[in-house]
A and B are shown apart, each in its own frame.
Chain A
């Protein structure tokens, strides 16, 4: 197990290096002169030629690209992701300021997804091919097809504007997080629910469940005690895969609900061409994603004795 984790961690090094090259190169695919645009924003008016030159000098934008990259990487290794051109604050600080808001939203929507999807999946599998099954499958499909930006707007329209039950935007009490978390959580339900259903169905046909049935054990007990445990294993992977989708959706949902998280700041920075922020945030998000996947993989191997066995055999 330890060896496996070490190996996985070592494999991360080239990936992170590649990811940093990619994040860095974002600056160079851009049309236009970033220095000029940033200055225009900063000064709230047109910069002069001298101001542009001074700015380039100050930020080292005149050096050859490999040197700029080397300097960038060196700084990153020391925890310095540069300074936002827009706010003039360190990028890392900007990220950390916004991360809690995004994390809360992330966790809550994940909880919503799971609490809706897993029971529905179980019911669907147990009452296989019943009306309940068809209905919940249809609902899952519906949820997966619902554009989350539209769902977000509809939620605002009904719960905030017409009914006036919940605040439509922003950051504050518990009530503020409900709508964005639902908008984000619903689309995730579908895949989790489908997999839960499929994997439980598969398990229910396995020999040991049949044996348990033959022994005359109560159906509920079979499901809860025997089947569920094994059926949940692939679901964990899907939740892992789901993280990519979720992180991406968060950008849109945060923008709609004015949720002061990482995603909204990233979009604002993209519109403002705040390159250090775009580069830094893309890199941090990639890192977060890579580690989240690693944790899911490791917990998966830990949970599933078959894989553990496989691994030991390979060794």
Chain B
């Protein structure tokens, strides 16, 4: 053997060894003890974060002052609250003897820290937190929020149920208590605590043994990050994970709807949770011809909503009762009208408005393949009434530029969100005075007037009445085209029991493995 050959053989052997060593290092043993649940999730839990965590750990590790569930504000860390000073001040009274998972007592100072941090980081977009003038600790179990003039009322109260208003101990950040600093290890009062975290790979949660409520049955939850939806499904099939969970927060990542039926027939448990979140078509309603209510109505009549839900194998419901599904504010109580497919009516309306043919630029983001297919379907449906739709599938930056410049005709958009957000989101989409309105869906002075009253009143009956008017007005003005009611899904192995959704979020406390 020549020297050169020896060298090359040597190199080859080294390469093989090197690669097997590297593989050895990255192999992570995951021994499933009996009460461990492994979840496949589309993104990192972000538990060590400069600003905010993902909603999943927020829901598991932290708690909020109140919860907003089934259309009602419910006590959580706060047992009661008073609205004072012409609803410019909200005072919360806390439960006593609650401890953080590290054993330290929960007090009003921790609440103050949480909100001071939100303000310091300017992390309060689209909620009413930015209108908080000051936070006043009255005693260790009482805190007062003082609001600036203007927007206060019921909507401000519901905002305390928002994810990012979850209460965190000051030791969660480093240096401790510094309101501008990174979260290093979130310490909360919730049923779980973070045990181990490897960014973009996995997070291990363990039961908080000193939780003040009913303790979870599981010992441990491993959340594995699998960004690609199809790979998540494959992971479930191969038993790598016990459960895959959709999220809709900060972008969305869903189990492909067309795989739900096959998964169900393979024996997996498919759990659906419909939300007060509706996918809509948004008009460029200030621009011709979309400023004409007849044209907007024509589009509403042109859409065949059953075909839309057929696109998702009927796993989502078509928007048959208007803006929101039953989880939306006051929807259960009031009857809301909706448009049904009628090509002739649509054509007549369009003709009356003076258009035989129309061209429309439908702008969409290409990230979500379902949305792309939806737009192709809309394109085909609108063609039937003589509207030629051009699809512009844009990448994030170009998309927001077109949106901001108002350089589009139609856009697929969504309103609402998780239930706890339904007030702020509705306000943000339809009221130009709302902080979020830069991304509104439709506005009209009459409409925003009604809405402003609807979200402010502390009186349930009054709210219901105002919302009824709001929905009716929106229908008359055909402000948007509601397409379908969004839902999130959990697909789990049969052996996983006790899965349920509380409000719009999955709750793992009652889960056990058979």
Q: List residues of A whose CB falls within 8 A of some B CB.
A: 30-34, 36-37, 40-48, 50-51, 54, 87-89, 100-101, 103-104, 107-108, 111, 156, 160-161, 164, 167-174, 177, 229, 257-258, 260, 268, 271-273, 303
Query: Per-residue CB proximity of B426-439 to A under 8 Å, as 1/0?
Result: 00000000011011
Which A residues are CB-close (under 8 A) to B439?
Answer: 46
12 A-B pairs within 8 Å (CB atoms) are namely: A31-B398, A32-B396, A41-B250, A51-B125, A100-B22, A101-B26, A156-B234, A164-B238, A171-B26, A173-B23, A258-B227, A268-B227
Option from B49, B238, B395 in Cβ contact (under 8 Å) with A168: B238
**In the docked arrangement, what's the CA distance between A47 and B51, Å?**
14
A87 touches B51 (CB 8 A): no
Q: Min CB distance, B503 to chain A, in Å?
A: 19
Tell me if B446 counts as interface (CB < 8 A to partner A).
Answer: no
Q: A258 and B125 in contact (CB under 8 A), knowing A101-B26, A164-B238?
A: no
With contacts A41-B251, A173-B23 known, what are 17 further pairs, Cβ within 8 A? Answer: A33-B400, A36-B400, A43-B51, A44-B249, A45-B125, A100-B25, A108-B19, A167-B240, A169-B231, A171-B26, A174-B20, A174-B27, A229-B2, A258-B231, A260-B200, A271-B395, A273-B397
In the complex, A47 Cα to B122 Cα: how many Å?
A: 10
Inter-chain contact B18/A107, CB cutoff 8 Å: yes
Chain B 45-59 interface mask (CB, 8 Å, partner A; 1/0): 000011110000000
Q: Which one of A41, A43, A167, A174 has the highest number of Cβ atoms from chain B below 10 Å of its Cβ?
A: A43
Task: Look across to chain A and name the residue whose beta carbon is closest to the beta carbon of B200.
Answer: A260
Q: Which residues of A contact B15 (CB under 8 A)?
A: 107, 111
Complexed CA–CA distance, A51 and B125 (Å): 10
Residue of A32, A48, A107 touching B401 (CB-CB under 8 A):
A32
The 3 nearest A-B residue pairs measured at CB: A32-B397, A44-B250, A169-B231
Any A CB within 8 A of the CB of B461: no
| Cα distance, A126 to B460, chains bound together (Å) | 89
Q: How far is the CA of A167 from the CA of B235 in the complex (A)?
A: 8
With known contacts A168-B234, A169-B231, A303–B23 Cβ distance under 8 A: no
A303 to B238, CA, bound (A): 48
Known: A107-B19, A172-B28. A272 touches B396 (CB 8 A): yes
Q: Is the CB of A174 within 8 A of B23?
A: yes
B50 CB contact (under 8 Å) in A34, A41, A88, A260: A88
Q: Which residues of A contact B312 (CB under 8 A)?
A: none
Q: Are A104 and B226 in contact (CB under 8 A)?
A: no
**Known A168-B234, A169-B226; contact A51-B122, beta-carbon cutoff 8 A:** yes
Q: How many angstroms between the C-alpha atoms of A48 and B436 in the bound complex?
A: 8
B313 proximal to A (CB < 8 A): no
Complex contact A260–B201 (CB within 8 A): yes
Report yes or no: B231 in contact with A170, Cβ–Cβ below 8 A.
yes
Decide if A46 touches B228 in the complex (CB within 8 Å): no
Q: Which residues of A contact B250 (CB under 8 A)?
A: 41, 44
Whether, in the assembled complex, B4 has its beta carbon less than 8 Å from a beta carbon of chain A, the answer is yes
Known: A37-B396, A169-B226. A271 touches B367 (CB 8 A): yes
Q: A32 touching B400 by the CB < 8 A rule?
A: yes
* Residue of chain B at shortest CB distance from A51: B122
Q: Which residues of A contact B438 (CB under 8 A)?
A: 46, 48
Q: Contacts of A34 on B, CB cut-off 8 Å?
A: 397
Q: Is B199 an interface residue (CB 8 A)?
A: yes
- A168 / chain B contacts, CB cutoff of 8 Å: 231, 234, 238
Q: How far is the CB of B134 from chain A (nearest CB, A)?
A: 20
In the bound complex, residues from chain A placing their C-beta under 8 Å from that of B396 are 32, 37, 41, 271-273
Task: Find chain A residues with CB under 8 A from B2 CB.
Answer: 229
Say whether A48 contacts B19, CB under 8 Å.
no
Cβ-based interface call for B123 (8 A): yes
Chain A positions within 8 Å of B234 at CB level: 156, 160-161, 167-169
**Complex Cα–Cα for A27 and B421 (A):** 35
Instruction: Indicate if the CB atoms of B22 and A104 lie closer than 8 Å.
Output: yes
Question: In the bound complex, what is the Cα–Cα distance between A197 and B45 (angstroms)?
Answer: 52
CB-defined contacts of B201 to chain A, threshold 8 Å: 171, 260
CA distance A168 to B18 in the complex (A): 23
Q: Are A47 and B125 in contact (CB under 8 A)?
A: yes
Does A37 contact B400, Cβ atoms closer than 8 Å? yes
